[in-house]
Amino acid sequence: MKHVSADCMFKGIVHAVAALAAAACACAGAAFGDKPAEAVRAARSVHMRYVPSTREKATGVQATVTVRDTVPGTYFCVACFDMGYCGFQEHFDGSRIFIFSVWDPGNPFNFSADPNAVKEEMRVKCLFAKDGVRIVRFGGEGTGGQAKIPYPWKTGEPETVRVTAEPDGTNRVAFTAWVKKHGTGDEWERIATFSTLHGGKGACIRHASAFIEDFRRNFESAKKTRRADFTNVRFFVGGGTGTPRQVKSGIFTADNSPSRAISAEPAPGGWTLATGGDTPDRADLLNTPMAALPAGR
């Protein structure tokens, strides 16, 4: 199994492509477009693009995920951005992890990318890894560095993630993934820090979003429901965790699977995404702005 999400192609630079593909799928009439349900290999990947309220460059992004329905072979990505993504996975054997990936410069559409072919000076560098974190190189969807750690997240319990960006010299950005410790108020656990060439973009978080992905893709997996709330989304401006800006608007998108068993709806402080199984057909909501409900409702 590849632990790098196929949804890397839905990072910010290709949201427009995703929207066009989703709009085309939305024109299909049957629940699975022109294919019978048994011919659909995977539950359709669904995304919520976080829409910032200002044009200020974000130096951090934070969001909370509460998983409602899960099955083995699912990735609940809390923070996907133009140079990486992180979140929680349930593997085929039921084990659960936290995963954080950052790309080398290159083309994420290169599905034959060889991580060993990248010159050393162009590679992601690991600057920090918490005890117990496994650091690996990945390929096959672009190339980069990846941190994985066993993490026993539970259905129905919120998990809050933060990614920060800061300069690493003149040509690199250091991205750090943090997870809020349970029962500690506002204490955070640093998971890993990766440094990557920024290509002139500077130290910032661009085009942040969330998604749910079925990476089992064995036809049966499309018949299972995956659902989660993504709430309390904030961008930070002015360095690290400077001034928070609450995100109140998002855009619902999906990959080009023919399945229409997809849904997004406002939730208190965010949104609920669902895909597969008995998820109601809400493909009509694709590619339109969706406001979050006021927090606390």
Give the CATH number of the domain where residue 135 resides: 2.60.120
Task: Note whether residue 260 is domain-resident.
Answer: yes
Q: Which domain holds residue 68?
A: 6-291
Q: Tell me whether strands 209-214 and 46-51 are parallel, antiparallel or unpaired.
A: antiparallel
Task: Please give the mean pLDDT across all residues of the chain.
Answer: 87
pLDDT confidence of residue 16: 35
CA–CA gap between residue 154 and residue 166 (Å, rounded): 31
Task: Note whether residue 86 is domain-resident.
Answer: yes
182 Cβ contact partners less than 8 Å away, ≥ 6 residues apart: none
Average pLDDT over residues 123-132: 98
Task: Note whether residue 57 is domain-resident.
Answer: yes
Q: Which of 41, 36, 84, 26 is nearest to 252 (CA)?
A: 26
Q: Higher-confidence residue: 125 or 242? A: 125
Task: Note whether residue 139 is domain-resident.
Answer: yes
Q: What is the CA radius of gyration of the chain?
A: 18
DSSP state of 294: P
Per-residue confidence band for 39, with pLDDT thresholds at 50, 70 and 90: confident
pTM: 0.88
Instruction: Look up residue 230 and give its two tokens.
Output: 């993504």
Task: Note whether residue 37 is domain-resident.
Answer: yes
Answer yes or no: is pLDDT of 7 > 90. no
Choose the weakest-confidence range: 9-13, 32-36, 150-154, 156-160.
9-13
Task: Note whether residue 1 is domain-resident.
Answer: no
